């Protein structure tokens, strides 16, 4: 094993010295990505990888997409990277119109930010202000960002900072079927148990009105955990009766990734009061935002402005990316290619003891690794899996409550051949781990 090129080793040492130690780096020998094309990236040593994590879902339509590059270059050629949102920005209005329409939220308005954290912060600000209460509901194992408010509604222990929360938060069930109390329940009975728990929280744990429930339709950092379809509709029925708002965090699940819906919450038959987005929309350029019913969005009194939110460069990139997704019907591609991969993983699950579970929807799918002897979560195997897939030229993610979940979310542009290629590598790595574990 020749190790990484000395340049990368030197960069790693400098990184460790000057960046916070809580910034996560993948791999024993972290890679430095220096170029990309299509659905592949190349590291500093010249090794090429098929990318099944897409920069944690930021590169939604792959790398070096001419349509995006040209849109950004056209804006750069005007001499304006950004002036200020104090002035009209045509691309911002155009993008807001498209997103408002796609959201299906009635009378929708859009506010652009630079990240998912800021988007959720804005949604929480709107909800708590509209409802005049600091009480919020969120989901167990959630992740919503790293600012003060977003940390409060995050419940994934390894990602939750020990801040003093400014919000009064209660956490609900939805992705906890592994708990003894829920084991063996049908979807309908599990949903009923979750709704009973919500009613109990509302009756006992909160001291006055509740502002909102914020939830990820499929939990990202939580390990792509999926509540059964219909859970959020059942929650919303209870919440609607009390006037509690519903915020769908679509930072990972938006823009057709789940294949079966354009926004993840549509899989539950729910139109939320607000939805938040970020990550993939700019295809690598920083853009996030919140969509809300107009009356909620307009309720804030003070002048509000994000200096860079909605700037012409990220708007150019986001318009081009969104148009590309729609023009090429990438939602259908996500459904088609995702089905191939998930079916292949389910087949591997049948014969490999290290595979505890396979789940997913469209191009958002996960594998849980377990000790074949005991069935216990095996986080060390997930670390090994990352090294194996790296060797074989595939980038994947990991996460989950116990750190034993592999998360895959390729660009929505992957071809069927690339889907089969990536599936092949995933299965080979699983077989290697399975042989070792026996």
Taking the complex as a whole, how short is the minimal distance between the CB of residue 192 and ligand PMP, in angstroms? Answer: 26
Taking the complex as a whole, how short is the minimal distance between the CB of residue 433 and ligand PMP, in angstroms? Answer: 26
Give the nearer residue to ligand PMP in terms of CB position, either 263 or 348.
263
Give the nearer residue to ligand PMP in terms of CB position, either 220 or 377.
220
Give the nearer residue to ligand PMP in terms of CB position, either 115 or 135.
115
Give the nearer residue to ligand PMP in terms of CB position, either 338 or 397.
397
What is the per-residue DSSP string for 413-430? T--HHHHHHHHHHHHHHH
Dihedral class, residue 430 (left if φ above 0, else alpha if ψ from -120 to 50, else beta): alpha
Taking the complex as a whole, how short is the minimal distance between the CB of residue 417 and ligand PMP, in angstroms? Answer: 29
- Only one residue has tokens 């801040």, namely 163
Alpha-carbon radius of gyration of the chain: 22
The residues binding ligand PMP (CB under 6 A) are 115-117, 120, 143-145, 216, 220-221, 249, 251-252, 278, 288
Helices 187-204, 231-242: inter-axial angle, 10-degree rounding = 30
Q: Which residue is nearest to ligand PMP (CB)?
A: 116
Give the nearer residue to ligand PMP in terms of CB position, either 172 or 430.
172
Give the nearer residue to ligand PMP in terms of CB position, either 62 or 217.
217
Give the nearer residue to ligand PMP in terms of CB position, either 318 or 348.
318
C-alpha–C-alpha distance, residues 120 and 188, integer Å: 30
3-class SS of residue 306: coil
Taking the complex as a whole, how short is the minimal distance between the CB of residue 398 and ligand PMP, in angstroms? Answer: 13
Give the nearer residue to ligand PMP in terms of CB position, either 91 or 251.
251
Give the nearer residue to ligand PMP in terms of CB position, either 153 or 378.
153
What is the per-residue DSSP string for 140-198? TT----SSHHHHHT---GGG------SSEEEEE-SS-TTSGGGTT--HHHHHHHHHHHH
Residue 119: closest CA among 297, 275, 265: 275
What is the per-residue DSSP string for 207-271? SS---EEEE-SEETTTTSEEPPTTHHHHHHHHHHHHT-EEEEE-TTTTTTTTSS-SSGGGGGT--
Give the nearer residue to ligand PMP in terms of CB position, either 52 or 372.
52
Angle subtended at Cα 293 by Cα 289 and Cα 295, rounded to the nearest 5 degrees: 115
3-class SS of residue 403: coil
Which structure tokens are listed for 225?
Answer: 């955990």
Non-local CB neighbours of 204 within 8 Å, separated by 6+ positions: none
C-alpha–C-alpha distance, residues 145 and 131, integer Å: 22
C-alpha–C-alpha distance, residues 409 and 411, integer Å: 7
Taking the complex as a whole, how short is the minimal distance between the CB of residue 219 and ligand PMP, in angstroms? Answer: 7
Which structure tokens are listed for 364?
Answer: 């958002």
Taking the complex as a whole, how short is the minimal distance between the CB of residue 215 and ligand PMP, in angstroms? Answer: 10
Taking the complex as a whole, how short is the minimal distance between the CB of residue 143 and ligand PMP, in angstroms? Answer: 5
3-class SS of residue 311: coil
Taking the complex as a whole, how short is the minimal distance between the CB of residue 48 and ligand PMP, in angstroms? Answer: 26
Taking the complex as a whole, how short is the minimal distance between the CB of residue 353 and ligand PMP, in angstroms? Answer: 30
3-class SS of residue 137: strand
Taking the complex as a whole, how short is the minimal distance between the CB of residue 187 and ligand PMP, in angstroms? Answer: 23
């Amino acid at each position: 094993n020749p190790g990484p090129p000395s340049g990368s080793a030197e960069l790693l040492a400098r990184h460790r010295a000057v960046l916070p130690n809580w910034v996560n780096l993948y791999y024993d020998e972290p890679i430095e990505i220096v170029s990309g094309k299509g659905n592949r990236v190349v590291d500093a040593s010249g090794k090429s990888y098929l990318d099944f994590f897409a920069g944690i879902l930021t590169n939604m339509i792959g790398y070096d997409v001419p349509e995006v590059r040209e849109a950004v270059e056209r804006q750069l050629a005007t001499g304006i990277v950004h002036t200020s949102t104090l002035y009209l920005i045509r691309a911002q209005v155009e993008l807001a119109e498209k997103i408002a329409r796609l959201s299906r939220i009635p009378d929708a308005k859009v506010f652009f930010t630079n990240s998912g954290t800021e988007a959720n912060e804005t949604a929480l600000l709107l909800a708590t202000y509209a409802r005049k209460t600091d009480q919020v509901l969120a989901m167990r194992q959630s992740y919503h960002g790293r600012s003060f408010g977003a940390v409060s509604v995050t419940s994934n222990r390894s990602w939750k900072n020990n801040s003093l929360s400014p919000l009064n938060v209660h956490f609900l069930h939805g992705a906890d079927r592994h708990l003894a109390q829920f084991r063996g329940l049908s979807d309908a009975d599990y949903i009923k148990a979750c709704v009973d728990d919500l009613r109990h929280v509302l009756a006992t744990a909160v001291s006055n009105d509740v502002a909102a429930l914020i939830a990820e339709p499929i939990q990202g950092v939580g390990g792509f955990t999926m509540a059964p379809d219909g859970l959020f509709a059942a929650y919303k029925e209870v919440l609607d009766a009390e006037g509690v708002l519903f915020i769908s965090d679509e930072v990972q699940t938006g823009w057709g990734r789940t294949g079966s819906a354009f926004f993840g919450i549509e899989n539950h038959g729910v139109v939320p009061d607000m939805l938040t987005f970020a990550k993939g929309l700019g295809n690598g350029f920083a853009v996030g935002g919140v969509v809300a019913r107009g009356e909620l969005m307009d309720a804030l009194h003070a002048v509000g402005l994000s200096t860079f939110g909605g700037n012409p460069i990220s708007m150019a990139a986001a318009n081009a990316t969104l148009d590309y997704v729609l023009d090429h019907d990438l939602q259908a591609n996500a459904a088609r290619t995702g089905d191939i991969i998930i079916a292949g993983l389910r087949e591997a699950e049948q014969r490999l003891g290290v595979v505890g579970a396979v789940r997913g929807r469209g191009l958002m799918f996960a594998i849980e690794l377990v000790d074949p002897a005991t069935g216990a979560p095996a986080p060390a195997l997930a670390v090994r899996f990352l090294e194996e897939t790296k060797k074989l030229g595939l980038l994947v993610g990991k996460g989950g409550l116990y750190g034993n979940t592999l998360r895959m979310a390729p660009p929505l542009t992957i071809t069927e051949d690339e889907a089969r290629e990536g599936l092949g590598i995933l299965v080979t790595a699983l077989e290697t781990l399975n042989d070792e574990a026996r």
